[in-house]
Structure 1
């Protein structure tokens, strides 16, 4: 039956990625900080899906190697999050690639239409204002095969095109630069644990099938060699149109801020362990001591106050002394 289903997918033109739908994220725990996936109330706990009929655990595998992990919601047909490690580098833009699907999500003993449990390429056709928004961005991939593996629709959500190419893209570039600069276990090795996810909307659907998220979010945790501490940084933003030219700035937030925000939809949410609660603020500098300009200004103000306090007859004397001094120079 499985072989028949794969054959049907190929005949219908559905490229697929040979990933693994698993019972526990312990099979690809290396993509999570200290091997522990997030805890999401009534959804995910201790690496196990609490509702396996809806939330599927995927170890995204490509060319024989596990590349990242995804928690996928087959009801909304979008991922809850993708988890991955950032190790520097990143792939530049190249030719457009075909998007793949996950065949194991469609396995059934009954004959039915493909892509019942996930989004397909056809769902995105004729959607001028929506794009396939990567959770694990191709630009964060360390090598070409990992970059190719990100082109699966289990790693994408319907994202407003102007938002995807606008403020969200700008934030991704900024975060990438900050991880390059601050996430080093030693002087050369870059390593950050990253989670990127989407908050499903209440009733906005693409083609009456695929949920269009209300918000996107991302967070990373890494060891900062300068402070010698584990630090984190988080971002989230509303998935709205930015075509009016007013591209918003997505400000960095703490991990606690993001977890509090996610409680609105998921109640209790713990993304990383407590070691990651300290926020990385790459823009904060140490307070500077008063420099010579400040000291000179204070001295000038003191001298001015002294001169103003002098009586008029002293000023007359100083003026006569000035003329005599100038005359002696000649």
Structure 2
């Protein structure tokens, strides 16, 4: 049962909101490969980080580990089950009332997360960048669920619409070719997309990531043989001068090595999802 405080009700009346489960990942483990979330020692149990089962229109749609101090997600985890992208819906941006302190005094709305006001008229060339992109969703409802401030980071505009956008679309093709569910031969890949905090803030509140990353893991069935398959991507969150910039594929191990220079990661995927027969 979810309890909504008086302050949460007032916030709901003032701003579009989504009501999710801010407890553990146990109710949304389906969005992690083999049902196991990344192992990042010390982070899950730290009170500043919140595990969110993102619930929208009555169902869980994806999962997020959220940093309430930096006011950005650490990562979002989701499944790709389609072989082509869908059009971006025109949804309003939503907030998560359950991340806020249960107090009758409103103070600043949504103290622990970004709001529309943070992004208005900023001179830092950033806009809202999805971690779980709507183009990776299976339908309009799932796409709508991605428009929450617990799923976005301040992303350089030219990077968001440039090389990162092209990479998001290219991965749909890669997953469609290599990632299949043995049960029905449909596309199935488990994806993690995350951000590494930087040294600058938007509106003196919201951390602007220095790097962004994406990786996916899946089973590949060829000639009745099952193998693990993964790809990874890592890129700086910086302005791009033209549309020729590309994000090169790296291995999952290379991504983990990069992350370990910033945060300690034991593994992102169970079994480490190395490209091998299983």
TM-score (structure 1 length as normaliser): 0.78
SS at match of 1:17: coil
Distance of 1:109 and 1:277 partners within structure 2 = 47
Distance of 1:279 and 1:120 partners within structure 2 = 43
Change (3 A) 1:279 1:169: farther
Q: Which runs of 4+ in 1 moved over 3 A?
A: none
Which residue of 50, 53, 56 maps to 1:62?
Answer: 56
**1:96 corresponds to 2:93:** no
Retained in 2: the 8 A contact 1:41–1:266?
no
Retained in 2: the 8 A contact 1:87–1:191?
yes
Distance of 2:83 and 2:243 partners within structure 1 = 31
**1:120 corresponds to 2:121:** no
Measure how far apart 1:246 and its partner are: 5.3
Select the structure with the greater relative contact order (CA < 8 A; seq sep ≥ 6). Answer: 2
**1:107 corresponds to 2:76:** no
Distance of 1:37 and 1:224 partners within structure 2 = 21
SS at match of 1:265: coil
Distance of 1:260 and 1:249 partners within structure 2 = 21
Change (3 A) 1:61 1:90: farther
Measure how far apart 1:20 and its partner are: 1.0
Higher helix share: 1
Retained in 2: the 8 A contact 1:68–1:83?
yes
Deviations along 1:81-101, one digit per CA (max 9) or x if unpaired, are 000011115553255211000
Retained in 2: the 8 A contact 1:69–1:83?
yes
The RMSD of aligned alpha carbons is 1.9
**1:7 corresponds to 2:9:** yes
Measure how far apart 1:41 and its partner are: 2.6
Retained in 2: the 8 A contact 1:168–1:250?
yes
Gaps (5+ residues) in structure 2? none
Question: How many residue pairs are counted as aligned between the two chains?
Answer: 270
TM-score (structure 2 length as normaliser): 0.92
Distance of 1:163 and 1:154 partners within structure 2 = 20
Gaps (5+ residues) in structure 1? 44-48, 281-330
Change (3 A) 1:97 1:91: farther
Distance of 2:243 and 2:103 partners within structure 1 = 50
Q: Match for residue 304 of structure 1?
A: none
Deviations along 1:148-203, one digit per CA (max 9) or x if unpaired, are 000001000000010000000111111110001110134731110100000001x2
Measure how far apart 1:7 and its partner are: 3.3
Change (3 A) 1:89 1:277: closer
Change (3 A) 1:196 1:279: farther
Q: Which has the larger radius of gyration?
A: 1
SS at match of 1:245: coil
Distance of 2:101 and 2:85 partners within structure 1 = 33
Measure how far apart 1:15 and its partner are: 0.3
Measure how far apart 1:105 and its partner are: 0.5
